Every structure is written in C-alpha cells, then in structure tokens.
Structure 1
C-alpha cells in the first residue's frame, strides 16, 4: 500500500508560529512526495466550547494561511469535516472499539478539558480522539505530521485500526506519526502556544502586531542573555523562536546579545520573526476569499468520493 498523508487543523483562529514549526513546514515538504489530505476539522471546534464562534470566517482564514505557507491545492486535497457525512458514519463503529477508560486516560484530552471554555465537559470531548481516528482512516492515512502533544491521538487511531482489522477484516493500515525535527515552541507567556490563549504569533499578524506581542513576552531581570531551558525557560523560548526563524543555534544568538538584556533580545526576535514571515504574508495577500471557496469546494468533492469508498468497505466487513 502506498503511503498517504493526513493532517489538518481546527478552525478556531489563525495559524501561528508554533503550528508552522511544529507541523506546517513539514506538510509543505511532504506534499511533493505523497498524496495528502488536509482536514479543516470544523465539527471538532465544539468539543471544548459551547459555540463554534466565527466559524466561516475562521475556515476562510485557515485556507488563506494554508495557501500562504505554500500548500498547493493541485497537489493536496483540502476538505471540511462537516461536508463529509461519511466521517461521522465511521465514528459509530469506531467508538465500539474503544473503552471509556482508554478515552479518559488520554493525556491530550485531559489537557483540552483543563483549558476548555465549556461550563461542563461534553461527551464529545471524550470522543475527540476517535473523531480524529475517523479523519485519518477514511483516506487510509499512513503518515500523520503532528506535534508531540498529539501523539496520544495517533495511538488511539492505531488502536482503532488494529481492533477493527482483528474483529472484522483487514481494512485499515496502522498510521505512523511524523514528528518535525524542530522543538515545541511555548507561548509568549511561558505556557503552551495556543490560538485560544492569546500567547501566539499569528502567521498573518502584521509587523506592528508581532512587535507588540514580543514586547509583552515574559523574560527575567538578568541582563546577561544565556540559553538555559531549565532555569530561564522564557528567555530560552525567545531564543528558540529567533533561532528557528534565522536557522541558527539559539546559544549562538544568546552569545551575540550578551549583556544587552531583554530589550535587545526582544528587538532581535522581532526582526527575525518579521523577516521570516514576510514572504508568507506576501503570498497570503495574493489570494482572495473567492479562491479559498473554490479550492474548498473542489477538495470536498474529492474527499467525499474517497470517504464513500471506505465506508462501503467498512459496511461490507461488518456484514451490514
């Protein structure tokens, strides 16, 4: 079986540097070597919030971000979860293969629950990893570019695929996670970088917005800038951001700044980020919202054709 890549994002806001270095850059490389499906997981938005927010606006922004980073709709299939009803029909038999205890133990689910904006945790939250299993397996995905925080979800997908194959018939491959070689970035407040926590640098942010965010980033009182992830995590994180954007070791950047203090560090990080994002921002301006809608419609059609074939296989294997 040939490898197929499945990846995607929830449309909860614009993508940020953490997404880029965590998985997006890898997707751009992989699109030249493998068939790729890129999911806009709109139904999954309500797993940890009562309302989806400006869902259509966010979907358009997400598509424009994809085009800006260099994803080519001629090479990849970009599609929307809610436009593919077969994904939800796969969810039901998949849920029968996973225990409640296994879902409760999922560390990513625990983290999402801790930061949920819902007054009470919904049943959908616990099924989130199985939703992702359906998203991956509908296209027989074998390679899934993810950040380290998503590894538990890939394990659930492998569990679902293995148990289905053992119980019914050999239908699904066991997907493998593809981790980027770059380190996981923290947010500018020292926590997990997240769209919902307001601590991220959006790919679509202006130069002034980027500068303002970095000025507010946490540091410490020591004027000598050193790279020490254990004792100076906030300073180390800013150095990591600059290092990724400049393609230089963060230790070398720290040595260059020396006794310049936090102000010099933040100036350097701001310049590095803005220079790195300049071509991405330029490509984003070259695409219209009409472009995005046409690309999504075409991708939805291709993805649904694939999903129908897989659901037919599943029904046949189960005896329906």
Structure 2
C-alpha cells in the first residue's frame, strides 16, 4: 500500500496496529485493549484527514497509483460480458482509449474511457492515458454505433489531457475533439458520464458531454492541471497548490457551479481503499440514472442535453 504525504499519520498508526496484533499472536500478552484503542484512533485520524482535504490533496488522491482505472471498472461492472472494439477505421487503434459493449444486469451499454497503465511498460503502451485523434475518432465511431442500435453510452473519464505531440496535431487533434463535442450533444441515446480520476482539458471534454455528468468524490475536472496553471502564471510548479485552489476543480466546486450533476461518494480513504464498494456504488448509480433517462424520447434527450449546456456559465449582454 502506497501512502501520500498527508496520509503518513495513518501509515504510522496502521504499522503500530499491525505490530500490536503480531505481538498478541506470538506471545501470551493480552493486547486486546491496546489494539482496540489503536483502531479507534486510526478511524478518528482517517475521518479527520479525509473530511478536510484541500483541492491539491484531492488531485493527489485522483492520481493514486492504486486507484482503479477504466478497465478495472468495466471488468467489475460487466464481468465476462465485455467485448472490446478496436480502431477508428482510418489510422489505427489508440490504446489510450478503450471502447466496447458490456452488460450491467440485463442492460447493454457502450463503454468508452481513457485507460492508464500500471507500470512503466503499460504506461508507455497506453500513452499515459493521453489519446491521439484516432482515439477520439474511435470513440465517436462507437458512439454512433450505439446510437444506431439504441444502446446507451457510458463514458469513463480519467486523463491528464489529450496527447499534445506534433503528430497528434498533424492528424487533427483539435478537430477530433470538437467533432466529438458536437456529435455528443445531438446523439439520440442516453449518455452517462463519470469522472473516475483526472478530468483535464479538452482530453476529458472529447468524451465528456452527457445527459448526466457525475464525479467521484476525490476526482478533479478542469481546463488545465494545477501544475500547468502554476507554470504559466508563476513560471514554476511550486505554486501548484495555490493553482488547485484557484481553479475550483474539485467535485464540490463543480457541483456548486452547476457544471456536473452529482457527486458519487467514495469509501473513507478513497476509491482504492475499498474497490468493491466503489464498483457497487458506481454500478448502482449508472443503473439508476439510466432508468430515469430511458423514459425520455430521443428528441427530449437531445433537447434537454442542449438546454443543459446552453445554460452553463454566466454572461452579460
């Protein structure tokens, strides 16, 4: 188990508790009371730390190496029913963008999302979750396929941004993302969007237009990462914590600004601390939202989605 800087008090208490249990099992000393006191102290420390997280600490939690990624969610939600589909029928199959059909219960969904890697080799293979234009065009192809067969779309967002390389720009990165945003606003099937980790820039928006947009509690959604914002404004990454606060990128901030619809609560300690509970919560949320959206006609879906995005933001004539 890896610990973040602000989680070190938890690490110390867990180590003390483990030693206490080992001592009790390997000797005749009764350490029951001591272990109970440590467990209570650990629980209180966890609650105190996680209920007062700063914006930057939530960014750190969203990037936790043990946090579940898109394929983890898909495998947990769909089991063996998931069928991955590949390629944009133009350039190649982008490994940073996952897509395919899967079932939750008796309902089939088209799943789309960015996939990060678990180690150096898979991170390179997945391009660190940063999709090229062909990734967004693959996503659009699958969404149009879902529309053709009346299948709802579930989009799982977890990316530090679209790939910024020269070759991506040559193949039309901006156009691919803009095209997806346009097409998703008028797709005639329900679109459910979940931000499960990082939601950065146009890379997130390229698969982020939906009838219902939800964020897990310890995720972020912004036009730019705190580090990049800090480097632009202060010419240094040292002010990333101030940038995180100023960007209003947490789930609470986004809900308050009416840019997302709901916040999905995570287990104490983050999604990685209790994966099974997280997966069950997400599956239940998807099913509940779909039950609401399936009552609407295609025309009502599109009109409601258009109105939702047209009403975002504040402007003056």
TM-score (norm 1): 0.26
Higher helix share: 1
Report the TM-score when normalising by structure 2.
Answer: 0.26
Determine which structure has the larger strand proportion and give its number.
2
